[in-house]
Structure 1
């Protein structure tokens, strides 16, 4: 019945299933579950003049994304720590992302440049912050256990060669629609001085906007250090016992990364520190030390006034946000000995022993100096005086020297 009908087609996709001809059988990848961690335990395929000249497909999926429903996917980046055991031997042949239905979009293989032979823990990048790989994406497709990557490589050498992948990660860049209540006086979070930034939520079921803290100045961390953990301390308070975390994320270049560390307990009605992460918790962020040292690295925090709460409003207030980075040096670091000897000038020294095989000391952390300044005094300056010596000339220099507050190093080196 009727006089018209609309017929609408969004997209038509096709997948071909085939069996390679006998002359095109490919070499298998081994140890493929090792690509989840950068630890020099590699996935690899062995190729030579007596094997086929291509690897089989390396298919990796189930990356554990949890992108918010409704978020707009802006770009996808694949990062690969890879190497070949012989120069001018291995190149990408095909590299695709995959959805539930299989490979999709553009082939991002670099078919020009050979894999390098240096195990330097540096990632090769494919795609980027605004690159959708020639197709469209939804949050559900990224969150699917089937989302991942397909890769195979080609052999061009004359001697036996392994193509090796130590670590492969995918970064998804997205924009989330978020209409929370703004924070007033947001610049107050840089100091724990009792001056608060406040979000006034007057709707049950409402939530705050993101409160972003960046520019923590981790420039003193060595470039070749390994990230072990990230700890965030937030001193916060609510006017009623109905304020809760809505989200706590790390932020890198204005993009939230890694796990949501929000906690269930409500914000207390007296100011208290809440700790997120810890010495061995990287928040599954995939961040490198260079990301941590960027002034655009930080943390995003949002609070909520849940549905079912009594009353008609809640104040959420944050005094200070502090962050501590735990890392391991690429070279062994030596511990200081007799650290309690620095309190008296008596030639009974605190010391650390260094040599060509151990070129750095651990941090010497000294606290509890027993100050009793009058309340309300204005601090004009701080001077550190050190009676120090080395047992060999032209051997020892300061590397980093900071003052510290309750939870972290602070100020200038």
Structure 2
């Protein structure tokens, strides 16, 4: 008895398990139903050959391209009715011209692959067993009215009774390449020539007859396979339009091309698609290689638009899309209605490509759902913000500032005007001077509710005016610029607008972050803030920029605004080393003037 060690047994078991799993996947038997997925393994759809015909010729003529003996009444070879074309073949050497039959009136689908051509000639002769016999001289195909070079004749004797003799076959292309247009053309057909062969003695003349000819075409239609690539976008705003769902469906045929004329997409997420999803657009492009290397850019070709999703959460989209063996990337874009709720989801699929896609001819696979990976979660639309107008004010220890900078009575700097050293009446601030910065923000994209947003002030030194560039520091205790103290409570709601365009008043801020107690009622409204600051550790004769950023309730987060139309700026007071010195001195008894500057 043979004993196997444990290692051999393990290897043998692994082999048989692998073999069984592969056999299951490849044969699809037995199939099992998986909830939410469908049948697994999915059915493997094979390309199935189809046939057209047999079809009879509508025209038959004598063609002198071969032999010397012409056919009588060649037109009789179009119908199997015993009214025949004939030719008398002189004994031993008689060779006929061709009967060329065309006009078979095929309607093979334009995207079919031609696999084979079967030609059947119904023929007979006048002698059987005599000293002379009729045989094929040439049997050829006709393409665009030209008789081909491939000869499929055989050496069998023609019989005295009408018999269909087959040439070519389901996989025989007669030495040529073919399109459906070639087959469907009126000049496609077949040709035959007969000859007299001496059997014994001195031979004998024979008469060859052709009653009809018929042709059968074997062809294969493309199978279009639907797949996916990428994942859905993670979030989408409620009340938004033209949202790219993310990822893509992929369409490709195994042979030739097919034209897609309808696609039905289904949403299986928790949102009520019938009520809250609309205007589902399909855009497409042919990939350079595969769709995994392509991205949606908004300039792809529009296939069509489905106005709504029905009660079954399906949207039917019609158009025209040519698909070949190179992947076509199919992108879904849609609108989300205002009636949707936050945390609801969108999950897009083609529930059954084999029945919910329409193609010009051929089939679509698989017959189970094809879903783009991932889930899109709906959220309330987020507003974007643009810092707009600003103005510097002198602090008066109240919420309502009244004196635009500077502290010198004859100078009131205008909106969006920085504090400069020259003229000196601009009163550039020193390290002890407190300032009030009024600035407003345009609320774009969506409205905000009261108390929902937070902002903080940041600064950096710089000679430019770009609030979007550079390294920024929060205005905060112990920083170069910090918030000043006052008797006004932090986050006191402002009472009087100071800036052009302000629609809503927010808060006085002496501690980060600044709150937004007042919401907005329409997009594009401006909200105004007041920041009370002092440059305790600022450097003399240095220009500083200030900007607002969005933050979290504790002031730790930093989210840049969409833009800054004006970037508040000031230059600090010069130190003593920066002042212009002047005076007089004496040299050799002569008074000399002097000056210098650092």
TM-score range, shorter chain: 0.3 to 0.5
**TM-score scaled by structure 1?**
0.38
Structure with higher strand content: 2
Bigger Rg over Cα: 2
**TM-score scaled by structure 2?**
0.26
